[in-house]
Structure 1
Amino acid sequence: MSLLPSMPETAHLADLFERFPDHVAPLMLYTDGILRGDGELSVAEREMIATYTSGLNACTFCYGSHKIYAALFGFDADLMDAMIADLDRAPVPDKLRPLMAYVRKLNTLPSKLTEQDSQAVFDAGWGEKALVEAVQVNALFNMMNRIIEGTGVNFDYDDDPARHPAVNSTPDKHRHSYAAFAKRFA
């Protein structure tokens, strides 16, 4: 049930943005830049970090939505569930493991990050730009998860995956999907 009386019982992010459109356009433009812009991390890797962050935060809406996007861009959706269950035992590619460990620690104990945490990321072959991109995705999704959970957006893509715009689609159609989504509320 939504936490806002003006929202439907099963609320989608589109319902929230339709009801409260202020600042949606710049937020979605920023999201497009973080998740779809050029970077050291692939779009699939950034969507995977968004999914992982949302899973750590138990944000069902974002976890389900971004798991579909991660799969669309080439990341194994089953790996997402394994990472949430136990990152240390999940079959994460070796290069991604220290980056995801960094994201996990950033998400839960940011003040405990150390030089050894970042050095492990660099030793795996990532540059500073990739680490900053991972930090930005994690930060963005902590904010988005709070918006979703704080307003009671409770639509679950596991209940109706066909409603996700990426289902039966192609990555090219979602190159700037967040900015396009925002235009619905202008």
Structure 2
Amino acid sequence: MPFLPSLPDPAHLSDLYARFPENVQPLMVYTDGLLRGEGELSVGERELIATYVSALNACTFCAGAHRAYAEVFGIDGALIDALIEDFDNAPVDDKLRPILAYVAKLNNLPSKLVARDARAVYDAGWSEAALYEAVQVCALFNMMNRIIEGVGVNFDYATAPEGHHAKGTRPEDQTHTYSKFGEMIAEMAKG
């Protein structure tokens, strides 16, 4: 049940943002740049990080929403399930494993990060820019997960997978996804 009485039940992020549209568009432009812009991590890898962090935070809405995007961008749903169930035995690429380990530690124990955590990322062949992308995705989804959970957004894509607009689409259909979402919110807010 949503914690804000003005939200419907179930509540979607679009319901929250249409009710409180202030600052949504700049956030969506930033999100588009981070998750859809050029980077060392692929769009799929960035969406995987968003999904993984959201799952670690038990944010059902974001984990479901970003899983759909990750799958559109080539990430196998079985890999996502395996990472969440048993990180150490998940069949993740050896190059990607240190980045996912880094964001898990950043998510759960940020004060415990040490130079060797970053070194593992660099030793796997990633640059500082790639690590910073991963850090930004983790940080963004910590914020988003807390917004979602803090107001009780409770729409669950697991029970309504057809409800995600990315299902059945191609990566090229998902360019500027978040900016378009921000524009849609602005229109909804006008009433």
Would the TM-score normalized by the shorter structure come out above 0.5?
yes
Give the residue type in structure 1 aligned to 2:168: N
Deviation at 1:152, TM superposition (A): 0.5
Deviations 1:85-144 (A, max 9, x none): 111111111101111110110000111101100000000010110000000000000000
Q: Which residue of 2 aligns with 1:11?
A: 11
Alpha-carbon distance between aligned partners in 1 of 2:185 and 2:68, rounded to the nearest angstrom: 23
Alpha-carbon distance between aligned partners in 1 of 2:93 and 2:139, rounded to the nearest angstrom: 23
Alpha-carbon distance between aligned partners in 1 of 2:37 and 2:2, rounded to the nearest angstrom: 32
Alpha-carbon distance between aligned partners in 1 of 2:153 and 2:77, rounded to the nearest angstrom: 22
SS for the counterpart of 2:178 is: helix
Q: Which residue of 2 aligns with 1:53?
A: 53
Matched, 1:28 2:28: yes
% same residue: 63
- Which stretches of structure 1, 4 residues or more, deviate above 6 A after TM superposition? none
Alpha-carbon distance between aligned partners in 2 of 1:144 and 1:77, rounded to the nearest angstrom: 22
Alpha-carbon distance between aligned partners in 2 of 1:58 and 1:78, rounded to the nearest angstrom: 18
Question: Following superposition of structure 1 onto structure 2, how do residues 160-171 of structure 1 map, counting pairs within 5 Å?
Answer: 160-171=160-171
SS for the counterpart of 2:51 is: helix
Give the residue type in structure 2 aligned to 1:44: G
Deviation at 1:68, TM superposition (A): 0.7
Give the residue type in structure 1 aligned to 2:13: L
Question: Following superposition of structure 1 onto structure 2, how do residues 115-134 of structure 1 map, counting pairs within 5 Å?
Answer: 115-134=115-134
Deviations 1:40-64 (A, max 9, x none): 0000000000000000000000000
Structure 1: tracts of 5 or more residues without a match: none
Instruction: Count how many residue pairs are aligned between Structure 1 and Structure 2.
Output: 186
Q: Which residue of 2 aligns with 1:94?
A: 94
Matched, 1:106 2:106: yes
Give the residue type in structure 1 aligned to 2:153: V
Deviation at 1:185, TM superposition (A): 2.0
Q: C-alpha root-mean-square deviation of aligned residues, in Å?
A: 0.6
Alpha-carbon distance between aligned partners in 2 of 1:109 and 1:57, rounded to the nearest angstrom: 12
Question: Following superposition of structure 1 onto structure 2, how do residues 139-178 of structure 1 map, counting pairs within 5 Å?
Answer: 139-178=139-178
Q: Which residue of 2 aligns with 1:69?
A: 69
TM-score, normalisation: structure 1: 0.99
Alpha-carbon distance between aligned partners in 2 of 1:43 and 1:178, rounded to the nearest angstrom: 13
Deviation at 1:84, TM superposition (A): 1.0
SS for the counterpart of 1:91 is: coil
TM-score, normalisation: structure 2: 0.96
Alpha-carbon distance between aligned partners in 1 of 2:29 and 2:154, rounded to the nearest angstrom: 23
Give the residue type in structure 2 aligned to 1:113: L
Alpha-carbon distance between aligned partners in 1 of 2:115 and 2:185, rounded to the nearest angstrom: 43
Alpha-carbon distance between aligned partners in 1 of 2:38 and 2:109, rounded to the nearest angstrom: 28
Alpha-carbon distance between aligned partners in 1 of 2:24 and 2:71, rounded to the nearest angstrom: 25
